[in-house]
Structure 1
Amino acid sequence: MEATLFQTLVQIESNSLPQAPKRAVPRTYPAVPQRDNDIELKSLTRVSVAPTPPGVSTPHGERDLEMSAPNTPGESLSDPMSTFEILPGLTDPPMNKFRFASCCFQNFLSGINDSAPGALIPFIETYYNIGYATVSLIFIGNALGYIAAAPFVDAIRMRLGRAKTCSLASICMALGFLPLLAAAPFPAIVVGYFFIGFGSAVNQAIGNGRAPGILSFGDANFLSVKVFTANLKNGTVLLGVLHGSYGIGGIIGPLIATSIVSNLGANAWNRFYALVVSIAVVNAAFYLWAFWNYENETAATETTLAVSSSGGQTTTAPRAELSAMLRAFKSRVVLLGATFIFAYQGAEVSISGWVISFLIATRNGDPSYIGNVTSGFWGGITLGRFVLSPIGARFGEKRFVYFLTVGAAVFQLLVWFVPNIIGEAVSLAVVGLLLGPIYPCAATVFTRNLSRQEQVSGLGVISAFGSSGGAVAPFTTGLLAQAAGTFVLHPIAIALFGAMLVCWFILPTTRKRTE
């Protein structure tokens, strides 16, 4: 889900960049000696305006130098008389508040889905009598579903519409949860996670506004994947709430799963998914109702924006977009960014998925209660993004990420070497607190280091290849844990933190924009 944050930031930042002021319109005054109209004005502007023909006075409505103003995101540089774009609000039209709520519920469900496996893996292993290596296949299934959704999201949305697409995605997630609810044979569980990943990817792409992964080429056209949340008034604040709902789901998921197991027994782990299936079905109906007339309400606005953003052309050339995507592989920033996010996602998912198994196997933790530790980790991530991210903007994102990464490695060492479950739970929560702001800070730095022409393709590569770390690292951890023990989680996590520091050190200093 976090992979789509990059593209949202690109669109928000690109819309907020200052534009060059329009050239002053020359005026002719009979009582004043006339001078060259171009004196000192050529160096002040990039946008030229046709000079007034000799002997013709400028209409009263034209703006002179003192009255000139920079263009806004809703104003076309080629059309001096263009008007401002009026963004819809959370209550204008009134259905938007229900649409935003449905997006938050979808993210809440995704948070539950991503955090619960860490608490349930020990019981799944016992129930199916399988080892760490085999059970880690669920991470591969989930990631493959996410990647498989990339080339189809926009095509499905254009054919079915937003309402039916996201409703179908929620039903797809519900179908993926059914083998878990029925405690079906383990291969069916892995296939179920594929459908869960596919549905979750579609929901996140539509709610955040972009199809995930490198195979989604529609971003070159602003309207090919319409951003809903980011295009509301106070979109940045609402995006924070949207991603905060994901964090809340991450906190609640392990708590509910652990409570069910502790009260009903280890073999009742599958009953947790009765709740999750119910939420998915309710979300499907809620989203279908909330967005049913969305395309009809926004059709006129989207047509206007598409013409304005493409200079009269409403389509983009897929071949040109593919070429831009391939050129991104030659960018040093893109390659380092993809490696950095690969290590970050790998460390985050590995810790969340395997720390409970470590505490049970090495610290003799009670499986019926130890699952709550994962909630502390996700709570730290959520709190860090809301509380520490603004500090990074003041302190400087580049230096702040050094501090956060080193701090996370130190507290991860405490989880490894301090033989006390309470102390380890607190240390793990601090690890989450320090990891939380790294993603948004890194997104800001990557965006600043890429030109506006490179941002769409470059950040698409970073998010696609970087997110694969969330499958490769936990799967590798499971393989090594099978051979050596669950303690391998910690050296793997610390090695990934080290890789992050190396990439961050080599990353070029943030350049000053010239666009």
Structure 2
Amino acid sequence: MQNADSVVLPHTGDDEHANTSESTPLVGHGLKPLSKRELAISRVQFFALCWSIFLIGWNDGTIGPLLPRIQDYYDVGFATVSWIFVLGCIGIVFGAFINLPLTPTLGFGKMLVFGGSFSIVAYGLQSLRPGWHTFVLSFFIGGIGMAMQDAHANAFVALVKHNNELKMGLLHASYGLGALIAPISATLFAQTPHWSSHYWTSFGLSIINVVVLALVFRLKVQDVCLREGGEHVPEPDESQPPHKFTQILKMKATHLLALYLLTYIGVEVTIGAWTVTFMMIVRGGGSYTGYVASSFFGGLMLGRVILIPVSRKFGEVNAAYLYTVLAIAFQLVVWLVPSFTINAIAVCLIGIVLGPMYPIAMNHSGRIFPRSLVTGAIGWIAACGAAGAAALPSLTGNIAARFGIESLQPFLVVAMAFMGFFWYLVPKHPQRTT
């Protein structure tokens, strides 16, 4: 088991074919100092990726406060409105599938812009309040774009040697920031007749995202962008046959990490999407209960920064167990203590302890996968994990339709327990290809 001070990361690019199956330790010693130009480029690249992840958080934080208005406007119940999550899930999985074969052809920069363009189309449709079927279809389109952007942003930062742990934490803190701000906007618009105007804001932000990604990365491949930011990238070994997809899918670690992240992200988005409804119906919250979702995502953002020292002290693997136990304890408070105020505080605390888990999983992926597979592996795991953002909220909606929204809390407790179990099964040492 490795602690945070001996992070092991591979490093590669879009077209690398390194013949080693070993992961390379990337510690903070022996790194070439960045020139002023390289440092500036690296920071701009990182900011652009943070903005992209910010919008994914914005998307996930939007739906909770607007869900009651969507149900009223389209006159649909819990089970029917859950098709939003189902189609989003299908879109994310589809995006993950097409991401792997398209990346060698288009390259890193073009894939980021391509993925961002799907978000523009999705938000454009949602802002028009079209018919129910078209509205639901827009979440499929948006899911494709989010899968592509999430995969490439995570893979790129995982391959950055300089301040890797901090950058991975900040990258995902930007997700929490987006998910924190979005419910504030969505709650305000939910009080007006034109609730879909929130999606016009999302539409504008997604256009800015595509422009920024195009200007910063200039449609270049990953290796070139990494080198421009001062990262050392080994020359590709063309003797290695390019059967990466098959190799990735043959590795047990791929599927276990995908299961872990699917459950984790599913829990995270389920809390953000359905807790507002639970607090309004069961705890008697008013029209501004949407701010509870903001407190959760604010905690998520905060936890990804302030708990870095805790993760270093205990080691990231052990810290993940600690955070899981605390999350279950706070979730039991929400379930068993019938107080709106105490529940709202507990929801925020859940966000704080859940926050570091995704960056930990991404860093751990970099430790255990061979360098020749890291980009594809992290991309696939991140995209499959993102499917949990649709799968678990959809399942929650169907369970709530049958047993009531009160079923949310025991469902989340069980899901968190499974999350800890999957983390236990994830390999803790570097893996070799077969």
Identify whether the pair has TM-score above 0.5, normalized to the shorter chain: yes
Q: Which runs of 5+ in 1 are unaligned?
A: 1-7, 19-69, 74-85, 210-226
**Counterpart position of 1:308:** 235
Q: Aligned partners of 1:294, 1:443: CA distance in 2, in Å? A: 23
| TM-fit CA distance, 1:154 | 5.9
Distance change >3 Å, CA 149–CA 90, structure 1 → 2: farther
How many angstroms apart in 2 are the aligned matches of 1:193 and 1:185?
13
Matched, 1:381 2:284: no
**Shift of residue 318, structure 1, vs aligned partner:** 3.6
Count of aligned residue pairs for this structure pair: 414
**CA apart distance, 1:439:** 2.8
Compared CA separation, residues 87 and 119, structure 1 to 2 (3 A): farther
Question: Quick check: which one's helix share is greater?
Answer: 2
Matched, 1:436 2:352: no
Aligned pair in 2 of structure 1 residues 466, 166: CA closer, same or farther (>3 Å)? closer
Where does residue 394 of structure 1 map in the other structure?
A: 313
Equivalent position to 2:197, from 268, 271, 284: 271
Structure 1 position 97, deviation (Å): 4.7
Q: For 1:279 and 1:506, how far apart are their aligned partners in 2? A: 39
Name the CA distance, whole Å, in 2 between partners of 1:426 and 1:200.
30
Q: 1:295 to 1:359 in 2, by over 3 A?
A: closer
Contact 1:176 1:192 in 2 (8 A): yes
Relative to structure 1, is the Cα distance of residues 289 and 426 closer, same or farther in structure 2, using a 3 angstrom cutoff? same
Match of 1:256 in 2: 185
Which of these residues, 227, 231, 244, is aligned with residue 173 of structure 2? Answer: 244
Give the Cα–Cα distance (whole angstroms) in 1 for the partners of residues 424 and 234 of structure 2. Answer: 42
CA distance in 2: counterparts of 1:168 and 1:511, whole angstroms:
35
Q: What secondary structure, in the 3-state scheme, does the structure 2 residue paired with 1:501 have?
A: helix
Contact 2:82 2:393 in 1 (8 A): yes
1:177–1:450 Cα change, 3 Å: closer
Greater relative CO (CA pairs within 8 A, separation 6+): 2
The 2-side partners of 1:95 and 1:455 are apart by 23
How far apart in 2 are the matches of 1:140 and 1:358?
20
Within the candidate set 241, 250, 254, 1:327 is matched to 250
Q: Is the 8 A contact 2:180 2:295 kept in 1?
A: yes
Q: Which residue number in structure 1 is paired with residue 272 of structure 2?
A: 352
Aligned mates of 1:422, 1:482 — CA distance in 2: 26
What SS does structure 2 have at the residue aligned with 1:317? coil
Q: Show the 5 A alignment for 1:72-471.
A: 91-92=37-38, 97-153=43-99, 156=102, 164-209=110-155, 227=156, 230-231=159-160, 233-262=162-191, 265=192, 267-292=193-218, 294=220, 298=224, 308-310=235-237, 313=238, 316-319=240-243, 321-328=244-251, 331=252, 333-367=253-287, 369-443=288-362, 462-463=381-382, 465-471=384-390
User: What displacement does 1:17 show?
Assistant: 5.0
Gaps of 5+ in 2: 1-7, 13-21
Deviation at 1:337, TM superposition (A): 3.6
Q: Measure how far apart 1:194 and its partner are.
A: 1.4
Q: Is the 2:276–2:290 Cα contact (8 Å) retained in structure 1?
A: yes
Match of 2:5 in 1: none
Query: CA separation in 1, counterparts of 2:403 and 2:114?
Result: 42
Shift of 1:182: 1.0
> How far has the Cα of 1:498 moved from its partner?
1.8
Distance verdict in 2 for CA 1:338–1:105, change over 3 Å: closer
1:284-306 CA-partner distances (Å, limit 9, x unpaired): 2333333337569939969x988
- Mapping for residues 56-75 of structure 1, pairs under 5 Å: none
Where 1:103 maps in the other structure, the secondary structure is helix
Q: CA deviation at 1:402?
A: 2.8
How many Å apart are 1:431 and its aligned residue? 0.8
Q: In structure 1, how many angstroms separate the alpha carbons of the residues matched to 2:250 and 2:223? A: 37
**Residues 170 and 470 from structure 1, CA distance in 2 versus in 1: closer, same or farther, beyond 3 angstroms?**
closer
Matching residue's letter, 1:119: P
Q: 1:339, 1:97 → 2: CA distance? A: 32
Tell me how far 1:10 sits from its aligned partner.
Answer: 4.7
Q: TM-score, normalised by structure 2?
A: 0.81
Q: Which amino acid aligns with 2:260?
A: F
Q: 1:229 to 1:511 in 2, by over 3 A?
A: closer
Q: CA deviation at 1:189?
A: 1.4
CA RMSD across the alignment: 3.8
Secondary structure of the 2:218 match is coil
Alpha-carbon offset, residue 383 of structure 1: 1.2
